[in-house]
Amino acid sequence: MNLVTPGIGLLFWMTLTFLILLFVLGKFAWKPILQSLKAREEKISNSLALAKSTQEEMKKLKADNEALLKEAREERDQIIRSAQKMKEVIVSEARQKAQTEADKIIESARENIQNEKMAAIIDLKNQMAELSIEVAEKVIRRELADLPSQKKYLDEELKSLNFN
Amino acid sequence: MTKPASGKISNIVLSILGVIFLIFSTFQAKADDHQNAHAEESFNPGEMIFDHVLDAHDWHILTIGHKHISVPLPIIIVDRLDSKIHIFSSSKLAHGHSHLGYKLGTEGDLKGKIIRESNSSTDGILDFSITKTVFAIFFSAILMIILFLSIAKSYRTREDKAPKGMQSALEPIILFVRDDIAKAAIGSKKYMKYMPFLLTIFFFIVINNLLGLIPIFPGGSNVNGNIGVTMILAVFTFIITSVSASKSYWTHMINMPGVPWWLKFPLPLMPIVEIMGMFTKPFVLMVRLFANILAGHIVILGFMSMIFIFGTINMYLGYGVSIISVAFSVFLFLLEILVAFIQAYVFTLLSALYFGMALEEHH
Protein backbone atom coordinates (compact mmCIF):
# COMPACT_ATOMS: atom_id res chain seq x y z
CA MET A 1 0.00 0.00 0.00
CA ASN A 2 1.63 3.18 -1.16
CA LEU A 3 1.12 6.75 -0.13
CA VAL A 4 0.34 8.29 -3.50
CA THR A 5 -0.96 5.35 -5.53
CA PRO A 6 -4.48 4.57 -4.36
CA GLY A 7 -5.88 1.12 -5.03
CA ILE A 8 -8.78 0.62 -7.39
CA GLY A 9 -10.91 -0.81 -4.57
CA LEU A 10 -10.67 2.35 -2.51
CA LEU A 11 -11.51 4.56 -5.49
CA PHE A 12 -14.49 2.38 -6.34
CA TRP A 13 -15.89 2.26 -2.80
CA MET A 14 -15.24 5.94 -2.22
CA THR A 15 -17.04 6.93 -5.42
CA LEU A 16 -19.96 4.64 -4.65
CA THR A 17 -20.24 5.78 -1.03
CA PHE A 18 -19.96 9.42 -1.92
CA LEU A 19 -22.61 9.16 -4.63
CA ILE A 20 -24.98 7.37 -2.26
CA LEU A 21 -24.23 9.91 0.45
CA LEU A 22 -24.81 12.79 -1.95
CA PHE A 23 -28.09 11.30 -3.11
CA VAL A 24 -29.47 10.32 0.30
CA LEU A 25 -28.43 13.49 2.08
CA GLY A 26 -29.38 15.69 -0.87
CA LYS A 27 -32.83 14.25 -1.07
CA PHE A 28 -33.71 13.55 2.55
CA ALA A 29 -31.56 15.92 4.57
CA TRP A 30 -30.27 19.00 2.76
CA LYS A 31 -33.44 19.67 0.83
CA PRO A 32 -35.83 19.74 3.82
CA ILE A 33 -33.24 21.49 6.02
CA LEU A 34 -32.53 24.24 3.50
CA GLN A 35 -36.21 24.59 2.69
CA SER A 36 -37.25 24.98 6.30
CA LEU A 37 -34.37 27.38 6.93
CA LYS A 38 -35.53 29.47 4.00
CA ALA A 39 -39.15 29.24 5.12
CA ARG A 40 -38.17 30.29 8.61
CA GLU A 41 -36.14 33.24 7.35
CA GLU A 42 -38.99 34.35 5.13
CA LYS A 43 -41.39 34.01 8.01
CA ILE A 44 -39.15 36.07 10.28
CA SER A 45 -38.68 38.82 7.72
CA ASN A 46 -42.39 38.80 6.94
CA SER A 47 -43.24 38.98 10.62
CA LEU A 48 -40.85 41.88 11.08
CA ALA A 49 -42.34 43.70 8.12
CA LEU A 50 -45.80 42.99 9.45
CA ALA A 51 -44.85 44.26 12.89
CA LYS A 52 -43.47 47.43 11.35
CA SER A 53 -46.51 48.02 9.20
CA THR A 54 -48.79 47.27 12.14
CA GLN A 55 -46.88 49.75 14.22
CA GLU A 56 -47.27 52.38 11.55
CA GLU A 57 -50.93 51.54 11.21
CA MET A 58 -51.32 51.81 14.96
CA LYS A 59 -49.65 55.19 14.87
CA LYS A 60 -51.92 56.30 12.09
CA LEU A 61 -54.93 54.90 13.90
CA LYS A 62 -53.96 56.69 17.04
CA ALA A 63 -53.59 59.95 15.16
CA ASP A 64 -56.91 59.31 13.49
CA ASN A 65 -58.49 58.58 16.83
CA GLU A 66 -57.12 61.73 18.30
CA ALA A 67 -58.40 63.77 15.38
CA LEU A 68 -61.74 62.06 15.69
CA LEU A 69 -61.83 62.70 19.40
CA LYS A 70 -60.97 66.33 18.87
CA GLU A 71 -63.64 66.64 16.25
CA ALA A 72 -66.14 64.93 18.50
CA ARG A 73 -65.26 67.22 21.35
CA GLU A 74 -65.68 70.27 19.16
CA GLU A 75 -68.95 68.98 17.90
CA ARG A 76 -70.11 68.33 21.42
CA ASP A 77 -69.18 71.84 22.46
CA GLN A 78 -70.97 73.24 19.47
CA ILE A 79 -74.03 71.16 20.19
CA ILE A 80 -74.03 72.26 23.79
CA ARG A 81 -73.56 75.84 22.77
CA SER A 82 -76.34 75.76 20.24
CA ALA A 83 -78.57 73.90 22.68
CA GLN A 84 -77.97 76.56 25.23
CA LYS A 85 -78.81 79.25 22.73
CA MET A 86 -81.89 77.40 21.68
CA LYS A 87 -82.93 76.99 25.27
CA GLU A 88 -82.62 80.65 25.86
CA VAL A 89 -84.61 81.42 22.75
CA ILE A 90 -87.27 78.91 23.68
CA VAL A 91 -87.50 80.13 27.22
CA SER A 92 -87.75 83.76 26.22
CA GLU A 93 -90.24 82.93 23.53
CA ALA A 94 -92.28 80.94 25.98
CA ARG A 95 -92.13 83.72 28.45
CA GLN A 96 -93.31 86.23 25.88
CA LYS A 97 -96.06 83.99 24.73
CA ALA A 98 -97.16 83.33 28.27
CA GLN A 99 -97.14 87.04 28.95
CA THR A 100 -99.33 87.85 25.98
CA GLU A 101 -101.60 84.96 26.76
CA ALA A 102 -101.90 86.10 30.33
CA ASP A 103 -102.55 89.63 29.20
CA LYS A 104 -105.17 88.40 26.84
CA ILE A 105 -106.80 86.29 29.51
CA ILE A 106 -106.77 89.14 31.95
CA GLU A 107 -108.20 91.48 29.33
CA SER A 108 -111.01 89.13 28.43
CA ALA A 109 -111.68 88.47 32.09
CA ARG A 110 -111.89 92.16 32.68
CA GLU A 111 -114.25 92.54 29.78
CA ASN A 112 -116.34 89.70 31.03
CA ILE A 113 -116.43 91.15 34.46
CA GLN A 114 -117.46 94.50 32.99
CA ASN A 115 -120.16 92.87 30.95
CA GLU A 116 -121.40 90.85 33.88
CA LYS A 117 -121.34 93.91 36.00
CA MET A 118 -123.33 95.89 33.46
CA ALA A 119 -125.81 93.05 33.08
CA ALA A 120 -126.12 92.81 36.83
CA ILE A 121 -126.63 96.54 37.12
CA ILE A 122 -129.28 96.49 34.41
CA ASP A 123 -130.89 93.49 36.05
CA LEU A 124 -130.74 95.21 39.38
CA LYS A 125 -132.23 98.37 37.89
CA ASN A 126 -135.02 96.38 36.32
CA GLN A 127 -135.67 94.45 39.48
CA MET A 128 -135.57 97.67 41.46
CA ALA A 129 -138.07 99.28 39.10
CA GLU A 130 -140.34 96.29 39.29
CA LEU A 131 -139.96 96.18 43.04
CA SER A 132 -140.69 99.89 43.39
CA ILE A 133 -143.67 99.55 41.12
CA GLU A 134 -144.82 96.59 43.13
CA VAL A 135 -144.28 98.52 46.37
CA ALA A 136 -145.92 101.50 44.88
CA GLU A 137 -148.83 99.38 43.75
CA LYS A 138 -149.11 97.82 47.16
CA VAL A 139 -148.95 101.19 48.81
CA ILE A 140 -151.37 102.66 46.42
CA ARG A 141 -153.69 99.70 46.79
CA ARG A 142 -153.67 100.09 50.53
CA GLU A 143 -154.24 103.70 50.34
CA LEU A 144 -157.07 103.25 48.00
CA ALA A 145 -158.67 100.60 50.22
CA ASP A 146 -159.32 103.14 52.94
CA LEU A 147 -161.96 105.09 51.11
CA PRO A 148 -163.31 107.49 53.89
CA SER A 149 -159.86 108.74 54.52
CA GLN A 150 -159.36 109.07 50.84
CA LYS A 151 -162.45 110.98 50.56
CA LYS A 152 -161.48 113.11 53.44
CA TYR A 153 -158.05 113.60 51.88
CA LEU A 154 -159.65 114.51 48.61
CA ASP A 155 -162.05 116.88 50.33
CA GLU A 156 -159.31 118.53 52.15
CA GLU A 157 -157.40 118.83 48.95
CA LEU A 158 -160.39 120.18 47.19
CA LYS A 159 -161.09 122.61 49.94
CA SER A 160 -157.63 123.99 49.70
CA LEU A 161 -157.88 124.16 46.04
CA ASN A 162 -159.08 127.52 44.96
CA PHE A 163 -160.65 127.88 41.73
CA ASN A 164 -159.20 130.91 40.66
CA MET B 1 -9.13 26.13 31.91
CA THR B 2 -11.65 28.35 33.64
CA LYS B 3 -9.03 30.44 35.35
CA PRO B 4 -6.21 31.53 33.04
CA ALA B 5 -3.92 32.25 35.98
CA SER B 6 -4.10 28.72 37.35
CA GLY B 7 -3.58 27.36 33.82
CA LYS B 8 -0.42 29.38 33.51
CA ILE B 9 0.86 28.14 36.84
CA SER B 10 0.18 24.53 35.97
CA ASN B 11 1.99 25.04 32.67
CA ILE B 12 5.04 26.33 34.49
CA VAL B 13 4.89 23.45 36.97
CA LEU B 14 4.67 20.98 34.10
CA SER B 15 7.66 22.42 32.30
CA ILE B 16 9.77 22.43 35.46
CA LEU B 17 8.83 18.81 36.09
CA GLY B 18 9.78 17.98 32.52
CA VAL B 19 13.19 19.55 32.85
CA ILE B 20 13.80 17.73 36.15
CA PHE B 21 12.82 14.46 34.56
CA LEU B 22 15.13 15.09 31.65
CA ILE B 23 18.12 15.85 33.85
CA PHE B 24 17.33 12.95 36.13
CA SER B 25 16.96 10.53 33.26
CA THR B 26 20.19 11.54 31.52
CA PHE B 27 22.10 10.83 34.70
CA GLN B 28 20.27 7.59 35.07
CA ALA B 29 21.03 6.77 31.43
CA LYS B 30 24.77 7.01 32.03
CA ALA B 31 24.48 4.87 35.11
CA ASP B 32 22.37 2.19 33.46
CA ASP B 33 24.21 2.16 30.17
CA HIS B 34 26.08 -1.03 30.76
CA GLN B 35 23.04 -2.83 32.13
CA ASN B 36 21.06 -2.10 28.97
CA ALA B 37 23.29 -4.21 26.85
CA HIS B 38 20.61 -6.71 25.89
CA ALA B 39 18.67 -4.92 23.21
CA GLU B 40 14.95 -4.70 23.64
CA GLU B 41 12.61 -5.27 20.77
CA SER B 42 13.65 -2.70 18.25
CA PHE B 43 11.22 0.12 17.62
CA ASN B 44 10.97 1.45 14.08
CA PRO B 45 9.10 4.78 14.13
CA GLY B 46 8.90 5.06 10.34
CA GLU B 47 7.29 1.66 10.07
CA MET B 48 4.86 2.42 12.88
CA ILE B 49 3.84 5.75 11.39
CA PHE B 50 3.38 4.38 7.88
CA ASP B 51 1.46 1.40 9.19
CA HIS B 52 -0.91 3.90 10.67
CA VAL B 53 -1.29 6.42 7.86
CA LEU B 54 -1.52 3.88 5.05
CA ASP B 55 -4.49 1.75 4.18
CA ALA B 56 -4.58 -1.79 5.54
CA HIS B 57 -6.63 -4.94 5.15
CA ASP B 58 -7.28 -5.25 8.87
CA TRP B 59 -7.79 -2.66 11.56
CA HIS B 60 -4.95 -2.96 14.01
CA ILE B 61 -5.93 -1.75 17.46
CA LEU B 62 -3.07 -2.65 19.73
CA THR B 63 -0.34 -5.15 20.40
CA ILE B 64 0.31 -6.60 23.85
CA GLY B 65 3.61 -8.41 23.89
CA HIS B 66 3.45 -10.51 20.73
CA LYS B 67 -0.33 -10.65 20.62
CA HIS B 68 -1.92 -8.44 17.98
CA ILE B 69 -5.46 -7.28 18.55
CA SER B 70 -7.11 -6.19 15.35
CA VAL B 71 -10.51 -6.08 13.70
CA PRO B 72 -10.59 -8.36 10.65
CA LEU B 73 -12.15 -6.82 7.57
CA PRO B 74 -13.59 -8.57 4.52
CA ILE B 75 -11.31 -9.13 1.54
CA ILE B 76 -12.97 -9.02 -1.86
CA ILE B 77 -10.85 -10.07 -4.78
CA VAL B 78 -11.87 -10.04 -8.42
CA ASP B 79 -9.40 -12.38 -10.07
CA ARG B 80 -9.17 -11.74 -13.78
CA LEU B 81 -7.20 -14.91 -14.43
CA ASP B 82 -9.92 -17.29 -13.30
CA SER B 83 -12.77 -14.69 -13.55
CA LYS B 84 -13.97 -15.32 -10.03
CA ILE B 85 -14.84 -13.18 -7.07
CA HIS B 86 -13.35 -14.33 -3.77
CA ILE B 87 -14.66 -12.98 -0.48
CA PHE B 88 -13.05 -13.99 2.81
CA SER B 89 -11.95 -12.50 6.10
CA SER B 90 -8.61 -10.76 6.35
CA SER B 91 -7.85 -12.79 9.48
CA LYS B 92 -7.07 -15.72 7.12
CA LEU B 93 -4.14 -13.74 5.72
CA ALA B 94 -2.83 -12.60 9.11
CA HIS B 95 0.71 -13.41 10.21
CA GLY B 96 1.85 -14.30 6.70
CA HIS B 97 -0.69 -17.07 6.16
CA SER B 98 -2.00 -17.67 2.70
CA HIS B 99 -5.54 -18.41 1.61
CA LEU B 100 -6.79 -19.63 -1.78
CA GLY B 101 -3.32 -18.90 -3.14
CA TYR B 102 -3.28 -15.29 -2.03
CA LYS B 103 -1.21 -13.69 0.65
CA LEU B 104 -0.21 -10.26 1.85
CA GLY B 105 3.01 -8.78 0.52
CA THR B 106 5.64 -7.88 3.06
CA GLU B 107 8.41 -6.17 1.14
CA GLY B 108 8.81 -2.88 -0.66
CA ASP B 109 6.07 -1.71 -3.00
CA LEU B 110 4.04 -4.84 -2.43
CA LYS B 111 3.86 -4.41 1.35
CA GLY B 112 0.29 -4.83 2.51
CA LYS B 113 -1.00 -5.63 -0.96
CA ILE B 114 -2.61 -8.91 -1.89
CA ILE B 115 -0.28 -10.98 -4.04
CA ARG B 116 -0.26 -14.43 -5.54
CA GLU B 117 1.60 -16.91 -3.47
CA SER B 118 2.96 -18.57 -6.61
CA ASN B 119 4.78 -15.67 -8.25
CA SER B 120 4.60 -12.86 -5.64
CA SER B 121 2.91 -10.45 -8.03
CA THR B 122 -0.40 -8.59 -8.18
CA ASP B 123 -1.05 -9.52 -11.83
CA GLY B 124 -4.73 -9.87 -12.56
CA ILE B 125 -5.83 -9.20 -9.00
CA LEU B 126 -8.41 -6.47 -8.62
CA ASP B 127 -8.61 -5.74 -4.92
CA PHE B 128 -12.06 -4.47 -3.95
CA SER B 129 -11.55 -5.26 -0.26
CA ILE B 130 -13.27 -3.35 2.47
CA THR B 131 -10.02 -1.95 3.79
CA LYS B 132 -9.52 0.18 6.87
CA THR B 133 -10.10 3.39 4.93
CA VAL B 134 -13.13 2.01 3.10
CA PHE B 135 -14.58 0.83 6.39
CA ALA B 136 -13.98 4.27 7.90
CA ILE B 137 -15.68 5.88 4.89
CA PHE B 138 -18.69 3.58 5.35
CA PHE B 139 -18.76 4.35 9.04
CA SER B 140 -18.65 8.10 8.54
CA ALA B 141 -21.25 7.90 5.76
CA ILE B 142 -23.64 6.00 8.02
CA LEU B 143 -22.92 8.44 10.83
CA MET B 144 -23.67 11.37 8.52
CA ILE B 145 -26.88 9.82 7.25
CA ILE B 146 -28.13 9.13 10.78
CA LEU B 147 -27.07 12.57 12.00
CA PHE B 148 -28.50 14.64 9.19
CA LEU B 149 -31.68 12.65 8.71
CA SER B 150 -32.43 13.13 12.40
CA ILE B 151 -31.73 16.83 12.04
CA ALA B 152 -33.95 17.01 8.98
CA LYS B 153 -36.63 15.27 11.00
CA SER B 154 -36.35 17.76 13.81
CA TYR B 155 -36.73 20.55 11.26
CA ARG B 156 -39.98 18.97 10.19
CA THR B 157 -41.35 18.19 13.64
CA ARG B 158 -40.17 21.39 15.29
CA GLU B 159 -41.40 23.72 12.60
CA ASP B 160 -41.69 27.35 13.71
CA LYS B 161 -39.78 26.60 16.90
CA ALA B 162 -36.26 27.51 17.95
CA PRO B 163 -33.68 24.85 16.98
CA LYS B 164 -32.68 22.44 19.72
CA GLY B 165 -29.83 20.03 20.45
CA MET B 166 -27.89 18.75 17.45
CA GLN B 167 -30.03 20.89 15.19
CA SER B 168 -28.96 24.10 16.89
CA ALA B 169 -25.33 22.93 17.01
CA LEU B 170 -25.12 22.34 13.27
CA GLU B 171 -27.46 25.03 12.00
CA PRO B 172 -24.83 27.80 12.22
CA ILE B 173 -22.43 25.64 10.19
CA ILE B 174 -25.08 24.92 7.56
CA LEU B 175 -25.90 28.62 7.42
CA PHE B 176 -22.20 29.44 7.20
CA VAL B 177 -21.76 27.10 4.23
CA ARG B 178 -24.83 28.61 2.61
CA ASP B 179 -24.21 32.30 3.24
CA ASP B 180 -20.45 32.66 3.40
CA ILE B 181 -19.39 29.95 0.97
CA ALA B 182 -22.12 29.23 -1.56
CA LYS B 183 -23.81 32.63 -1.78
CA ALA B 184 -20.53 34.52 -1.61
CA ALA B 185 -18.72 32.45 -4.23
CA ILE B 186 -21.49 31.40 -6.61
CA GLY B 187 -23.95 34.23 -6.24
CA SER B 188 -27.40 34.34 -4.74
CA LYS B 189 -29.14 33.31 -7.95
CA LYS B 190 -27.61 29.95 -8.73
CA TYR B 191 -26.13 28.79 -5.43
CA MET B 192 -29.04 26.56 -4.45
CA LYS B 193 -28.21 23.93 -7.07
CA TYR B 194 -24.75 23.40 -5.55
CA MET B 195 -25.74 23.43 -1.88
CA PRO B 196 -26.20 19.64 -1.51
CA PHE B 197 -22.75 18.95 -2.92
CA LEU B 198 -21.05 21.70 -0.91
CA LEU B 199 -22.72 20.66 2.34
CA THR B 200 -21.92 17.01 1.71
CA ILE B 201 -18.21 17.58 1.03
CA PHE B 202 -17.92 20.03 3.90
CA PHE B 203 -19.39 17.66 6.46
CA PHE B 204 -17.71 14.61 4.90
CA ILE B 205 -14.31 16.26 5.28
CA VAL B 206 -14.97 17.65 8.76
CA ILE B 207 -16.41 14.44 10.15
CA ASN B 208 -13.66 12.27 8.71
CA ASN B 209 -10.98 14.68 9.91
CA LEU B 210 -12.43 14.66 13.42
CA LEU B 211 -12.95 10.89 13.46
CA GLY B 212 -9.34 10.56 12.36
CA LEU B 213 -8.26 12.35 15.50
CA ILE B 214 -9.95 9.83 17.79
CA PRO B 215 -7.16 7.34 18.44
CA ILE B 216 -9.24 4.20 18.92
CA PHE B 217 -11.48 2.10 16.64
CA PRO B 218 -13.69 3.12 14.80
CA GLY B 219 -11.87 6.44 14.74
CA GLY B 220 -8.25 7.07 13.98
CA SER B 221 -8.33 6.10 10.37
CA ASN B 222 -6.45 8.39 8.04
CA VAL B 223 -9.31 8.97 5.57
CA ASN B 224 -8.62 12.42 4.19
CA GLY B 225 -4.89 11.76 4.42
CA ASN B 226 -5.43 9.10 1.78
CA ILE B 227 -4.93 10.45 -1.70
CA GLY B 228 -7.60 8.19 -3.19
CA VAL B 229 -10.29 9.80 -1.06
CA THR B 230 -9.25 13.36 -1.82
CA MET B 231 -8.88 12.43 -5.47
CA ILE B 232 -12.50 11.34 -5.71
CA LEU B 233 -13.64 14.52 -3.94
CA ALA B 234 -11.59 16.65 -6.32
CA VAL B 235 -12.85 14.69 -9.33
CA PHE B 236 -16.43 15.42 -8.26
CA THR B 237 -15.59 19.13 -8.06
CA PHE B 238 -13.95 18.93 -11.49
CA ILE B 239 -16.92 17.14 -13.07
CA ILE B 240 -19.47 19.53 -11.59
CA THR B 241 -17.38 22.52 -12.67
CA SER B 242 -17.08 21.24 -16.23
CA VAL B 243 -20.71 20.19 -16.54
CA SER B 244 -22.14 23.44 -15.22
CA ALA B 245 -19.70 25.68 -17.09
CA SER B 246 -21.21 28.41 -19.22
CA LYS B 247 -20.41 28.96 -22.88
CA SER B 248 -18.18 31.91 -22.11
CA TYR B 249 -16.12 29.73 -19.76
CA TRP B 250 -15.21 27.47 -22.67
CA THR B 251 -14.67 30.29 -25.15
CA HIS B 252 -12.38 32.00 -22.69
CA MET B 253 -10.52 28.75 -22.26
CA ILE B 254 -10.11 27.95 -25.94
CA ASN B 255 -9.94 31.41 -27.41
CA MET B 256 -9.41 34.16 -24.88
CA PRO B 257 -10.64 37.46 -26.30
CA GLY B 258 -8.10 40.27 -26.49
CA VAL B 259 -5.11 37.99 -26.99
CA PRO B 260 -2.79 39.29 -29.78
CA TRP B 261 -2.39 37.02 -32.84
CA TRP B 262 1.29 36.32 -32.22
CA LEU B 263 0.37 34.60 -28.98
CA LYS B 264 -1.99 32.32 -30.87
CA PHE B 265 0.33 31.47 -33.74
CA PRO B 266 2.38 29.36 -34.11
CA LEU B 267 2.01 28.30 -30.48
CA PRO B 268 -1.44 28.82 -28.85
CA LEU B 269 0.02 29.65 -25.47
CA MET B 270 -3.08 30.87 -23.63
CA PRO B 271 -5.29 27.82 -24.32
CA ILE B 272 -2.48 25.57 -23.16
CA VAL B 273 -2.15 27.49 -19.92
CA GLU B 274 -5.91 27.65 -19.43
CA ILE B 275 -6.45 23.94 -20.04
CA MET B 276 -3.57 23.12 -17.73
CA GLY B 277 -5.23 25.38 -15.13
CA MET B 278 -8.48 23.49 -15.52
CA PHE B 279 -6.72 20.34 -14.30
CA THR B 280 -4.36 21.89 -11.80
CA LYS B 281 -7.24 23.40 -9.82
CA PRO B 282 -8.75 20.05 -8.70
CA PHE B 283 -5.25 18.58 -8.49
CA VAL B 284 -4.27 21.24 -5.97
CA LEU B 285 -7.51 20.60 -4.05
CA MET B 286 -6.63 16.93 -3.87
CA VAL B 287 -3.03 17.46 -2.76
CA ARG B 288 -3.79 20.20 -0.23
CA LEU B 289 -6.30 18.21 1.77
CA PHE B 290 -4.28 15.00 1.51
CA ALA B 291 -1.00 16.59 2.58
CA ASN B 292 -2.49 18.61 5.44
CA ILE B 293 -4.24 15.70 7.07
CA LEU B 294 -1.41 13.27 6.42
CA ALA B 295 1.11 15.70 7.89
CA GLY B 296 -1.04 16.18 10.99
CA HIS B 297 -1.20 12.44 11.62
CA ILE B 298 2.51 11.99 10.95
CA VAL B 299 3.58 14.82 13.25
CA ILE B 300 1.44 13.63 16.16
CA LEU B 301 2.71 10.09 15.71
CA GLY B 302 6.24 11.46 15.43
CA PHE B 303 5.95 13.07 18.83
CA MET B 304 4.54 9.85 20.25
CA SER B 305 7.41 7.88 18.67
CA MET B 306 9.93 10.11 20.39
CA ILE B 307 8.87 8.62 23.72
CA PHE B 308 9.73 5.14 22.51
CA ILE B 309 12.86 6.18 20.63
CA PHE B 310 14.22 7.67 23.84
CA GLY B 311 12.70 4.81 25.79
CA THR B 312 14.82 2.27 23.88
CA ILE B 313 17.91 4.27 24.82
CA ASN B 314 16.81 4.42 28.42
CA MET B 315 13.52 3.81 30.14
CA TYR B 316 13.70 6.93 32.33
CA LEU B 317 14.66 9.08 29.38
CA GLY B 318 11.48 7.82 27.75
CA TYR B 319 9.44 8.88 30.77
CA GLY B 320 11.11 12.28 30.76
CA VAL B 321 10.49 12.87 27.09
CA SER B 322 6.91 11.64 27.41
CA ILE B 323 5.91 14.79 29.28
CA ILE B 324 7.12 17.02 26.47
CA SER B 325 5.80 14.66 23.83
CA VAL B 326 2.37 14.49 25.40
CA ALA B 327 2.26 18.25 25.84
CA PHE B 328 3.18 18.78 22.20
CA SER B 329 0.75 16.09 21.07
CA VAL B 330 -2.07 17.75 22.97
CA PHE B 331 -1.14 21.03 21.33
CA LEU B 332 -1.05 19.36 17.93
CA PHE B 333 -4.36 17.62 18.54
CA LEU B 334 -5.94 20.99 19.25
CA LEU B 335 -4.26 22.39 16.16
CA GLU B 336 -5.58 19.45 14.15
CA ILE B 337 -9.11 20.15 15.31
CA LEU B 338 -8.66 23.64 13.90
CA VAL B 339 -7.10 22.22 10.72
CA ALA B 340 -10.02 19.78 10.37
CA PHE B 341 -12.40 22.72 10.02
CA ILE B 342 -10.04 24.95 8.04
CA GLN B 343 -9.33 22.28 5.44
CA ALA B 344 -13.01 21.48 5.06
CA TYR B 345 -13.69 25.19 4.69
CA VAL B 346 -10.91 25.68 2.15
CA PHE B 347 -11.92 22.67 0.06
CA THR B 348 -15.58 23.71 0.05
CA LEU B 349 -14.85 27.38 -0.58
CA LEU B 350 -12.49 26.65 -3.47
CA SER B 351 -14.97 24.21 -5.00
CA ALA B 352 -17.66 26.87 -4.74
CA LEU B 353 -15.30 29.45 -6.27
CA TYR B 354 -14.60 27.15 -9.21
CA PHE B 355 -18.33 26.66 -9.72
CA GLY B 356 -18.81 30.41 -9.55
CA MET B 357 -16.04 30.99 -12.08
CA ALA B 358 -17.48 28.39 -14.42
CA LEU B 359 -20.94 29.96 -14.22
CA GLU B 360 -19.71 33.50 -14.76
CA GLU B 361 -20.88 35.21 -17.93
CA HIS B 362 -18.27 37.56 -19.36
CA HIS B 363 -19.43 40.55 -21.31
* β-strand partners of B216: none
* pLDDT at position B243 over 50: yes
With bands split at pLDDT 50, 70 and 90, how would you rate the model's confidence at B204? very high
List phi, psi (to 5°) of B216. Answer: -115, 155
Chain A residues lying within 8 Å of B56, measured CB to CB: 1
Residues B247 and B104 in one domain: no
Look at residues B52, B69, B86 and tell me which one is the last residue of a structural domain. B69
The minimum CA-CA distance between B71 and chain A, rounded to whole Å, is 18
If you average pLDDT over residues B33-55, what whole number do you get? 67
Sequence length of chain B is 363
- Asked if A100 reaches chain B (Cβ–Cβ under 8 Å), the answer is no
φ, ψ for residue B360 (rounded to 5)?
-60, 135
Look at the alpha carbons of B290, B296, B297, B298 in this order and tell me if their dihedral is positive or negative: positive
What average pLDDT score do residues A108-125 get?
92
Same domain, B334 and B246: yes
Q: Is the pLDDT of residue B137 over 90?
A: yes
Q: Which of A9, A24, A34 sits opposite B145 (nearest CB)?
A: A24
Distances (CA, A) of B303 to B288, B323, B324, B325, B337: 23, 11, 9, 5, 17
Same domain, B21 and B81: no
From the CB of residue A47, how many other CB atoms can be counted at a distance below 10 Å?
10
Q: Could you report the per-residue pLDDT of B293-329, keeping only the tens digit for each?
A: 999 999 998 988 888 888 888 888 888 888 999 999 9
pLDDT for residue B9: 57
For residue A38, give how far its alpha carbon lies from the nearest alpha carbon of chain B (Å).
10
Q: What's the mean per-residue pLDDT of chain A?
A: 89
Q: Is A105 in CB contact (< 8 Å) with chain B?
A: no
Clarify whether residues B120 and B263 are in a common domain.
Answer: no
Contact A10 B155 (CB under 8 A): no
Better-predicted residue by pLDDT, A33 or B264: A33
What share of chain B has pLDDT > 70, as a percent?
Answer: 88
pLDDT digits (tens, 9 = 90+) for B141-158: 999 999 999 999 888 888
Q: Which residues of B touch A28 (CB under 8 A)?
A: 149, 152
Query: Domain span at residue B96?
Result: 74-127
CA A36, chain centre distance (Å): 64
Contact B342, B200 (CB under 8 A): no
Cβ of B134 within 8 Å of Cβ of A9? The answer is yes
Say yes or no: B34 and B150 in one domain.
no
Q: Do B175 and B305 have their domain in common?
A: yes
Q: How far is A53 from chain B (nearest CA, A)?
A: 22
What value of ipTM does the predicted structure carry?
Answer: 0.82
CA-to-CA distance for A134 and B31, rounded, in angstroms? 193
- Average pLDDT score over residue span B18-47: 53
Q: Are residues B323 and B186 in the same domain?
A: yes
pLDDT digits (tens, 9 = 90+) for B228-237: 999 999 999 9
> What does the pLDDT read at residue A139?
83
pLDDT at res. B22? 52
* B169 and B85 housed in the same domain: no
List the single residue in A with minimal CA-CA distance to B167: A33
pLDDT band at A55 (very low <50, low <70, confident <90, very high): very high
CB of A20 within 8 Å of a chain B CB? The answer is yes
Domain shared by B65 and B191, yes or no: no
Chain B residues within 8 A of A10 when measuring between CB atoms? 55, 131, 133-134, 226, 228-229
Whether B40 and B175 map to the same domain: the answer is no
Structural domains in chain B (count) = 3
Report residue A24's pLDDT band, with 50, 70 and 90 as the boundaries.
Answer: very high
Which residues does chain A have within 8 Å of residue B199's beta carbon, measured at their own beta carbons? 25, 30
| pLDDT at B4 (0 to 100) | 47
| B-chain residues near A46 (CB < 8 A) | none
Same domain (yes/no): B97, B204: no
- pTM, two decimals, is 0.73
Is residue A45's pLDDT more than 90?
yes
Please tell me whether residues B153 and B226 are part of one structural domain: yes
How many beta carbons lie within 10 A of that of residue B199, not counting itself?
Answer: 25
